[in-house]
Amino acid sequence: MDNIKTYTIDVLIQKILDGEKQYDLSKIVSAYEFANKYHSGQVRGSGEPYITHPLAVAYILLELGMDTDTICAALLHDVVEDTEATDEDIRKTFGTDVAMLVDGVTKFNKLPIFTKEEQQAENIKKIILAMSQDIRVIIIKLCDRLHNMRTLQFKSPEKQRLTSLETMNVFVPIAHRLGIKAIKEELEDISFRYLDPYAYAEIEQMLEKTKDERDAFIESIKERISARLAKDFNPVPTIEGRVKSLYGIFTKIYTQGKSFDEIYDKYAVRVIVNTVTECYFVLGVIHDMFNPIPNRFKDYISTPKANMYQSLHTTVIGREGIPFEVQIRTWEMHHTAELGIAAHWKYKEGISGNSNKFENRLAWIRQLLETQQESNDVEEIVRAIKNDLAPEDVFVMTPKGDMISLPVGSTVIDFAYAIHTQVGHKMIGAKVDKKMVPLDYEVKTGEIVEIITSKDPNHGPNRAWLDICKTNEAKSKIRSWFKKERREENIAEGKAELEREFKRNLIRVPDEELADFLSLDMKRHNCDTLDDFFAAIGYGGVQLSKILPRLKDEYTKKYIQSAENEPSEAPSQPVITAAPKRGTSGIIVDGLDNVLIKFSQCCAPLPGDDVVGFITRGHGVSIHKKDCVNYLNQKDDPAYAGRWVPVRWEDKANQGATFKATLDIVGHARLGLLADISSTLTAIRIPLHEASARELKNGNANVLITISVAGSEQLNGVINKLRKIDGVISVDRSGK
Residues that bind Mn ion (CB under 5 A): 78, 144
CB of 144 to Mn ion, least distance (A): 4
CB of 285 to Mn ion, least distance (A): 48
DSSP 8-class letter at 295: T
CB of 143 to Mn ion, least distance (A): 9
Residue number with CB closer to Mn ion (144 or 414): 144
How far apart CA 455 and CA 325 sit, in angstroms, is 68
**Nearest residue to Mn ion on Cβ basis:** 144
CB of 147 to Mn ion, least distance (A): 7
Report yes or no: 323 and 317 within 8 Å, Cβ to Cβ. Answer: yes
Q: 690 - beta bridge partners?
A: 706
Tell me, yes or no, if 81 is annotated catalytic. yes
How far apart CA 265 and CA 288 sit, in angstroms, is 20
Report yes or no: 193 and 200 within 8 Å, Cβ to Cβ. Answer: yes
CB of 253 to Mn ion, least distance (A): 34
DSSP 8-class letter at 264: G
Taking phi over 0 as left and psi of -120 to 50 as alpha, with beta for the rest, 724 belongs to alpha
Report yes or no: 59 and 15 within 8 Å, Cβ to Cβ. Answer: yes
Q: Within 13 Å, how many C-alpha atoms sit on residue 663's CB side?
A: 32
Q: Is the backbone peptide bond immediately before 580 cis, with ω within 30 degrees of 0? A: no
Report yes or no: 649 and 611 within 8 Å, Cβ to Cβ. Answer: yes
Residue number with CB closer to Mn ion (78 or 325): 78
Q: Is 251 exposed, middle or buried (0-12, 13-18, 19+ CB in 10 A)?
A: middle
How far apart CA 21 and CA 9 sit, in angstroms, is 18
Residue number with CB closer to Mn ion (53 or 125): 53
How far apart CA 279 and CA 309 sit, in angstroms, is 15
How far apart CA 76 and CA 38 sit, in angstroms, is 10
Q: Which residues contact 29 (CB under 8 A, 6 or more apart)?
A: 9, 13
CA angle at residue 312 from 307 to 316, to 5 degrees?
135
Give the count of beta carbons closer than 10 Å to the beta carbon of residue 662.
17
Instruction: Using alpha carbons, list the distances in angstroms from residue 76 to 38, 108, 416.
Output: 10, 14, 38
The dihedral through the CA atoms of 522, 525, 526, 530 has a sign that is negative
CA angle at residue 704 from 698 to 706, to 5 degrees?
170
Residue from 2, 33, 81, 320 carrying the catalytic annotation:
81
Residue type (1 letter), 583: G
Q: Which residues contact 736 (CB under 8 A, 6 or more apart)?
A: 602, 603, 628, 629, 630
Residue number with CB closer to Mn ion (180 or 246): 180
Taking phi over 0 as left and psi of -120 to 50 as alpha, with beta for the rest, 187 belongs to alpha
Residue number with CB closer to Mn ion (78 or 521): 78
Report the candidate in 395, 338, 375, 394 with the shortest Cα–Cα distance to residue 178: 338
The dihedral through the CA atoms of 417, 419, 425, 429 has a sign that is negative
How far apart CA 448 and CA 616 sit, in angstroms, is 75
Report yes or no: 99 and 91 within 8 Å, Cβ to Cβ. Answer: yes
Pairing of strands 267-273, 323-330: parallel
Give the count of beta carbons closer than 10 Å to the beta carbon of residue 150.
15
Buried b (16+ CB within 10 A) or exposed e, 261-286: eebbbbbbbbbbbeebebbbbbbebb
CB of 77 to Mn ion, least distance (A): 6
Tell me, yes or no, if 516 is annotated catalytic. no
Which DSSP helix (H) or strand (E) runs through 98?
helix 87-110
Residue number with CB closer to Mn ion (144 or 278): 144
CB of 35 to Mn ion, least distance (A): 11
Active site residues: 81-82
